[in-house]
A and B are shown apart, each in its own frame.
Chain A
Amino acid sequence: MIYLSFNKIIIIIIIILCKIFYSIRRRNRQKRVENNIQHPLSPADAPPLPISESADADAAAASSTTITTMFRQASRLLARSINQQPKMMARAFSTDVPATPTVDSTFVESWKKVIPNMEPPKTPLTFMQPRPSTPSTIPSKLTVNFVLPYASELSSKEVDMVIVPATTGQMGVLPGHVPTIAELKPGVLSVHEGNDVTKYFLSSGFAFIHANSVADIIAIEAVPIDQIDQSLVQKGLAEFTQKLSTATTDLEKAEAQIGVDVHSALNSALTG
C-alpha cells in the first residue's frame, strides 16, 4: 500500500467534493436568484466578488455540467468555488485581540538575553480567545466550535449533542464526554439542539473534545445535506468504481479508492 500523507488525502477529497458542490452551488445560486429564497444558514448574502462573477458567466457558457469538464476547470476555479460561499460576513476593520493577552515568559526572557534591541514576536497565545476552565460538575450543554478554512461555521454554540463521523464510526458527543482526539472521515455531522437537527456533510478533518465540554471540529469542506445532488453522486460513484478497477499504479488505486469512499459516504448521507 502506498503511504499518502494526511494532507494529500485531504486534498484529494476536497477536489472530489468541490467538483460536486461547485455545480450544485452554482445551480442553487441561480435558482435562489430566480426564486429569491434565502439560504437558511447564511447570515447575509454578501455580493460575490467580481472575479467569481466572470468565472460564473464563462463557466456557464463554456461547460456543461459534466464532471469531466468541471475537473479540467476545477483547478482553476477551486478558489472561486470557495469564494462563492454565501456565508461570508462583510465586516468593518476589526481586530481579535482578547481582553487579557497572555505571553510566554520563558520565550520572552530567552529572547531578551540574546537579542536585547528588538521586540520579541507575538505568539498565538496572545491572540487566543480564552477558553472556559474545567467545571467540577458536568455542564448541561456542549459548546461547539465548528471551523472551516474560509469561515467559522459555528463558534461557541451551545448544543445538546453532536454526532461526528470518526474513522471508527459515528461518534456521539454529549456534555461531559471524555477528552478525545478523533480523526474524521468524510461523513455526516449532525448537530442536535433541542428538537432541531442540522446535518452537514464533512470532508475529513479532526475533532477535539476537551474536558470542559468544548468540542472543536475542524473540517475543510462542509455542506448542508440538502444541497447535495443525488444524480451527480451516483455518477461520481460509478466513475470512481470504474477507475478503481482500471487503476494500475498504487497512487491511482489510492486516489480511486478515496473517490469511491467519499461518494459512498455521500450516498449513505443522502439515503440514511
Chain B
Amino acid sequence: MAMASLRREGRRFAAPLISSQPITAIRSSLIAEEQAPLGIRSISTQVVRNRMKSVKNIQKITKAMKMVAASKLRAIQTRAENSRGLWQPFTALLGDAPSVDAKKNVIVTISSDKGLCGGINSTSVKISKAIHKLTAGPEKETKYVILGEKAKAQLIRDSKKDIELSITELQKNPLNYTQVSVLADDILKNVEYDALRIIFNKFHSVVSFLPTMSTVLSPEVVEREAESGGKLGDLDSYEIEGGETKGEILQNLAEFQFSCVLFNAVLENACSEQGARMSAMDSSSRNAGEMLDRLTLTYNRTRQASITTELIEIISGASALEG
C-alpha cells in the first residue's frame, strides 16, 4: 500500500524532469514506457541508450564516408583540371552559342549514380527542365539523354516520353577518354540533333559547384550560322586541310568536339559529386555529434531520476518500518 503510493510519487517526481527535455520523441516514448507495465520500479534508460548507440554508429559511418570522398576527390581533381584544356580550342574556334535557334535540341544531363551527395543532382535536373522549357516552341522538339541513375529517377516521373537514351554505371571503371568516346559515338548514332546541350556541375572549389551548360552544334547548324554571320562569321575564312569537302570535316569536328566536351563534363561532374558528398557527410557527422550530446544529457537526467526514485523508495520504506 505504502509502496504503491510511493511508486506513484516516484512517477510524478520523474515526470517533470522528463518534460524539460527538448526531444519530444524521447519524452513520449519514455512516458509510455513508465506508464505501461506495472511492477517496473525505475525508469528505463534502455531506449535512450539504444538511440545513442545508433546515432554514434551513424556518426562513424558518415565520418568514414567523408574520408573516402575526400581521397576520391583528390584523385579525380587532378585529372579534371588537366582535361580543362581540352574544350578551350573548340570554343576559341567556334565560339559559344547557347541561345542558338535550333529545331531539334538534345539535352544531355550528367548526374551521379550514387546518392548522399547533396543537391547537385537536383540542380542539374532543375536546369535541364528549365532548358527544356526555354527551347520549347512550335515545330521544335527537345529530348533528353541521361547519364546517371539519379537524374533518370527524377526525370522519368514527368518527362518519360522525352527521354531518348539513358546510361548508368558510368563510373564502374575509372573514367577515361576511350569510354566516353564510345558513349559519345552511341549517343550521336541514336539521336538526331541540331544542338546538343550538355548540363553538368563544374567543379569550382570544394564547396562551390557551378551548374554549367555547354553547347555543341551539328555541322548543318554550324554552316547556317557561319553563313548568316555573327559569332561564327569568320569560320569561312578558315582553310580546310584534309578530307574531301568542308561538310565532312565539319562533321568530324562536331563529333570530336562532342566527345571532348563530354569527357571534360563527366570528369568535372564526378569531381563535384565527390566534393558535395564530402561536405554533406561532414555536416551529417556534425549533426550526429550534436544529437549525441543532447541524448547524453537526457540519458544522464533519466539515470539520475531513476536513482533518486530508488533512493526515495528505500528511505521511505525504511522510515515506515521504524515507525
**Which residues from chain A sit less than 8 Å from chain B, CB to CB?**
5-8, 10-11, 14-15, 46, 49, 51, 76, 78-80, 82-83, 88-91, 93-97, 104, 106-107, 110-111, 114-115, 118, 121-125, 127-129, 131, 145, 147-152, 155, 166-168, 171, 178-185, 205-206, 208, 210-211, 214, 216, 218, 220
Q: Tell me the minimal C-beta distance from A3 to chain B in angstroms.
A: 11
Complex alpha-carbon distance, A80 and B89, angstroms: 27
Residue numbers in B under 8 Å from A93 (CB-CB):
77, 205-206
Complex alpha-carbon distance, A175 and B97, angstroms: 29
Is there contact, CB below 8 Å, between B88 and A128? yes
Contacts A11-B178, A51-B174; is A124 near B211 (CB within 8 Å)? no
Residue numbers in B under 8 Å from A78 (CB-CB):
176, 178
Q: Tell me the minimal C-beta distance from B28 to chain A in angstroms.
A: 40
Q: Report, nearest first, the 10 A-B pairs whose CB atoms are least far apart.
A: A167-B242, A216-B89, A182-B241, A152-B85, A6-B252, A183-B242, A147-B85, A149-B177, A107-B99, A79-B176
Complex alpha-carbon distance, A242 and B256, angstroms: 30
Partner of B84, one of A76, A90, A96, A122: A96
Residue numbers in B under 8 Å from A15 (CB-CB):
178
- Interface: B20 (CB within 8 A): no
Q: Tell me the minimal C-beta distance from B77 to chain A in angstroms.
A: 7
Residue in chain B with minimal CB distance to A113:
B134
Q: Tell me the minimal C-beta distance from B57 to chain A in angstroms.
A: 28
Residue numbers in A under 8 Å from B13 (CB-CB):
none
Tell me the interface secondary structure of chain B in the complex: helix
**Which residues from chain B sit less than 8 Å from chain A, CB to CB?**
75, 77-79, 81-89, 91-93, 96-99, 126-127, 130-131, 133-134, 173-179, 181-182, 184-185, 188-189, 199, 202, 204-206, 210-215, 234, 237-243, 249, 251-253, 255-256, 259-260, 263
Is there contact, CB below 8 Å, between A125 and B96? yes
Residue numbers in A under 8 Å from B185 (CB-CB):
5, 7-8, 11
Residue numbers in B under 8 Å from A82 (CB-CB):
176-177
Complex alpha-carbon distance, A180 and B241, angstroms: 7
Residue numbers in A under 8 Å from B96 (CB-CB):
104, 123-125, 128
Tell me the interface secondary structure of chain A in the complex: mixed
Residue numbers in A under 8 Å from B256 (CB-CB):
6-7, 10, 205-206, 218
Contacts A123-B96, A129-B88; is A91 near B176 (CB within 8 Å)? no
Is there contact, CB below 8 Å, between B85 and A115? no
Residue numbers in B under 8 Å from A104 (CB-CB):
96-99
Residue numbers in B under 8 Å from A178 (CB-CB):
239
Q: Tell me the minimal C-beta distance from A99 to chain B in angstroms.
A: 15
Is there contact, CB below 8 Å, between B242 and A168? yes
Residue numbers in A under 8 Å from B242 (CB-CB):
166-168, 182-185
Residue in chain B with minimal CB distance to A4:
B185
Complex alpha-carbon distance, A121 and B176, angstroms: 26
Would you mind naming 6 contact pairs between A and B with Cβ atoms under 8 Å apart?
A10-B259, A80-B174, A110-B134, A147-B85, A151-B82, A182-B241
* Residue from A89, A118, A184 having most chain B Cβ neighbours under 10 A: A118
Complex alpha-carbon distance, A123 and B243, angstroms: 31
Complex alpha-carbon distance, A5 and B78, angstroms: 30
Is there contact, CB below 8 Å, between B126 and A118? yes
Residue numbers in B under 8 Å from A128 (CB-CB):
88, 91-92, 96
Complex alpha-carbon distance, A124 and B82, angstroms: 16
Complex alpha-carbon distance, A178 and B237, angstroms: 9
Residue numbers in A under 8 Å from B78 (CB-CB):
46, 88-91
Residue numbers in A under 8 Å from B77 (CB-CB):
91, 93
Complex alpha-carbon distance, A118 and B77, angstroms: 28
Is there contact, CB below 8 Å, between B81 and A91? yes
Complex alpha-carbon distance, A128 and B98, angstroms: 15
Residue numbers in B under 8 Å from A184 (CB-CB):
242
Residue numbers in B under 8 Å from A127 (CB-CB):
84, 202, 212
Is there contact, CB below 8 Å, between B134 and A115? yes
Complex alpha-carbon distance, A178 and B263, angstroms: 30
Partner of A125, one of B91, B174, B178: B91
Partner of A167, one of B188, B199, B215, B243: B243
Is there contact, CB below 8 Å, between A121 and B241? no
Residue numbers in B under 8 Å from A14 (CB-CB):
177-178, 181
Complex alpha-carbon distance, A218 and B89, angstroms: 8
Residue numbers in A under 8 Å from B178 (CB-CB):
11, 14-15, 78
Residue numbers in A under 8 Å from B91 (CB-CB):
124-125, 128
Q: Tell me the minimal C-beta distance from B127 to chain A in angstroms.
A: 5
Is there contact, CB below 8 Å, between B127 and A150? no
